[in-house]
A and B are shown apart, each in its own frame.
Chain A
Amino acid sequence: MKMHAKNRNVAIIGIGQTSLSSHKEDQNQAEMVHEAVRNALADAGLKIGDIDCIVHGNMELFEMQFAPDLWHSLGTGAYGKDEYRITTGGTTGATLVCAADNLVASGLYNTVLAIGMEKLQEGNTTGGITNMADPLWFRNLQTGALTGTTAQEMIDEFGEERAKRAAMRYRIMMDKHAMLNQRAHRRFGLEYSQMEDLMANSPPLVGELRLIHMCSQSDGACAMIFTSEEKVKQGTKNPPVWIRDHIQVHREETIPNLFGFNKPEVTHHLAARKLFARNGIQDPVAYFDVFEMYDPSAWWAVDWLREFFLLKGDEHLRMLEAGDFDLDGRIPINPSGGVIASNPIGATAMLRLAEAALQIRGDAGGHQIKKEVRHALASGFGGTFWSVLMILEKELNWQEVNHD
Chain B
Amino acid sequence: MTEYFGTTVADIFATMPKRFKPEEAKEVDIAIGYEATGEGGGKWKATIKHGTLKVETVEGELTGCKTTIHTDAETFVGVTLGKISALDALSSQKLRVAGDPKFLMLLLPKIFTPYAAPAKKPDAVTARDIIATLAERFRPEKAEGVAMTIGYDLAGEGGGKWTIVIRDGKCAVREGLADPLTVKMTMEAKTYAGMMVGTIEAVTAFTSGQVKIEGDMAAAAATAKYFRKYVVPGATEAEELISLRVTNSIEQRFATGPVMGRWFAGIREKKFLANRCPKCGRTQIPPREICAWCRVRVHEFVEVGPKGVVTHFDIVYFASPDPLTGAVRDTPYATVYVVLDGATEREAITVDLKKEDIPRLKEGARVRPVWAAVTTGSYRDLIGVELDEEEGSL
Contacts and interface: CB of A to CB of B under 8 A. Distances in A.
A64 B246 CA distance: 10
Contacts of A135: 252, 254
B315 A186 contact: no
B350 A127 contact: no
A161 interface: no
Contact of A211 (B91, B246, B344): B91
Given A211-B87, A216-B88, A256-B347, 9 more contacts: A131-B323, A139-B322, A143-B320, A144-B320, A206-B314, A206-B316, A207-B314, A214-B91, A252-B292
A172 to B, nearest CB: 11
Interface residues of B, number: 49
A155 to B, nearest CB: 12
Interface string B239-267: 10101001010001010100010000000
Contacts of B97: 203
Q: How large is the interface on A (under 10, 10 to 19, 20 to 34, 35 or more residues)?
A: 35 or more
Interface in B333-351: 333, 335, 337, 339, 344-351
30 contacts: A22-B85, A25-B241, A25-B243, A124-B321, A126-B320, A127-B321, A130-B320, A130-B323, A136-B379, A139-B324, A140-B352, A141-B335, A141-B350, A143-B318, A146-B320, A152-B312, A188-B88, A202-B91, A206-B315, A206-B318, A212-B93, A252-B292, A256-B285, A256-B347, A256-B348, A256-B349, A257-B346, A261-B311, A262-B345, A262-B346
B376 to A, nearest CB: 14
B312 A259 contact: yes
Interface stretch (A41-49, A84-92, A190-198, A312-320): A190-198
A140 B324 CA distance: 7
A299 to B, nearest CB: 12
Interface of A: 22, 25-26, 64, 124, 126-127, 130-131, 135-141, 143-144, 146-149, 152, 186, 188-190, 194, 197-198, 201-207, 211-212, 214, 216, 252-262, 264
Interface in B346-365: 346-352
B42 interface: no
B254 A203 contact: no
B51 interface: no
A130 B292 CA distance: 24
Interface in B293-340: 311-312, 314-318, 320-324, 333, 335, 337, 339
Interface of B: 85, 87-88, 90-93, 96-97, 101, 239, 241, 243, 246, 248, 252, 254, 256, 260, 285-286, 292, 311-312, 314-318, 320-324, 333, 335, 337, 339, 344-352, 379-380
Contacts of A257: 346-348
- Residues of A contacting B: mostly: loop
Given A25-B243, A144-B320, A202 B93 contact: yes
Contacts of A190: 92
Contacts of A131: 323
The 9 A-B residue pairs whose C-beta atoms are closest, nearest first, are: A260-B346, A259-B337, A188-B92, A261-B345, A256-B348, A205-B318, A260-B348, A259-B312, A135-B254
